[in-house]
Amino acid sequence: MRIRHLTIAIVVLTLSALASATQLRQIAIIDIPGHPGFDGIAFAGGYLVMTHSGAGTVDVFSVPQRRLMTQIRGMKGPSGVAGDEAAAKVYVANSDGGNIAVISTRTWQVLETIPVPGSPDSLVLAPEAQRLYAADAEDQTIAVVDLAHGNRVQSAAVGGTPEYMAYDPLRKLLFASLQDLREIVALDPALKVVSRYPLAASQPTGLALDAKARRLYVAVRYAVIALDADTGAESSRVATPAGVDMLWYDGSSGTLYAAANGSVTVIRAGSGKLENVGEFNTEVRGHVLAFDPANGLVYMPGGREGRSKLLILKRVQAPHPQNAEQVAEQGAATSRPPQ
């Protein structure tokens, strides 16, 4: 009996490991000039745009050609980035310059800079409202730029350290994680706090929103949790490696991608119940990522051995969980003693 149980356990554990290992496969590591240090990433104009704080540049990477097209220099502490496809622009927060650079995706030239109070970090664009939000962790404020009315800027204190943000187009609300307060804050277009969602977890950072399903995903210490976006009630959580920072949600597959310094975690989220379906330990150490659903590719910029790299991973189909159970039964059958 002990041999049978041991056989079942070995089969199940082996198949579980195979399922995790086949979720992501490394297909390329691209050299990037400059010292390591990347703080933001976004798709814009058919390109992958990365804020490269270690080099003081904005790096523009061609996805089809799989090569670095240009590095926009003259940035001062580039951090957050947001793409505006309709306007053919990219916005980059210069945290050391106290401004937001506006870059054309047609020419990759800086069109103008928008002065904002303090040190802007992460950025989120509300395209239908033509409003650009900038979080300032140092001053514990969030600013909004009214792009439709001369880049008019308004700022408000949020009572904590804002890390990442997510915009809800249905309720016209901005969500921000307050890392030091263990809560999520919701603000209206006038930056008035309308809700605070306390968390049964510490150090919230990355945010991702499924607006249709009304679920807000939050990266916390050692876990990712799902909240009701309208009430803040927690509905599910899943364990993750320590240090998960940025989250990227792919609505087409109901999948979350979580970046930690040295790993990428794949989380099934479409059903409402979070499930860790694979972790990939990376050769490149980075804390931001982007997912290209058209090609099933994950991009993570970071560093390896003191050099800047761009890691490209391919999402592949893992065995269905039922297959593991079926094979386990087969293993149990073959281990039974003769009758």
Sheet holding 131-136, edge to edge: 123-126, 131-136, 141-146, 152-157
The tens digit of pLDDT for each residue in 288-335 reads: 999 999 999 999 999 999 999 999 999 987 555 544 444 445 444 444
Do the Cβ atoms of 313 and 279 come closer than 8 Å? no
Residue 12 has pLDDT above 70, yes or no: no
Q: Residue 221: phi, psi to the nearest 5?
A: -65, 120
Q: How confident is the model at residue 14 (pLDDT cuts 50, 70, 90)?
A: very low
The tens digit of pLDDT for each residue in 167-226 reads: 999 999 999 999 999 999 999 999 999 999 999 999 999 999 999 999 999 999 999 999
The reported pLDDT for the residue numbered 327 is 41
Distances (CA, A) of 107 to 4, 15, 81, 111: 66, 49, 17, 10
Domain with CATH 2.130.10.10 in the chain: 23-316
Per the rule left: phi > 0, alpha: psi between -120 and 50, beta: everything else, 50 is beta
Regarding predicted confidence, which is higher, 109 or 316?
Answer: 109
The tens digit of pLDDT for each residue in 69-85 reads: 999 999 999 999 999 99
CATH code that applies to domain 23-316: 2.130.10.10
The reported pLDDT for the residue numbered 262 is 85
The tens digit of pLDDT for each residue in 230-282 reads: 999 999 999 999 889 999 999 999 999 999 998 999 999 988 899 999 999 99
Regarding predicted confidence, which is higher, 3 or 71?
Answer: 71
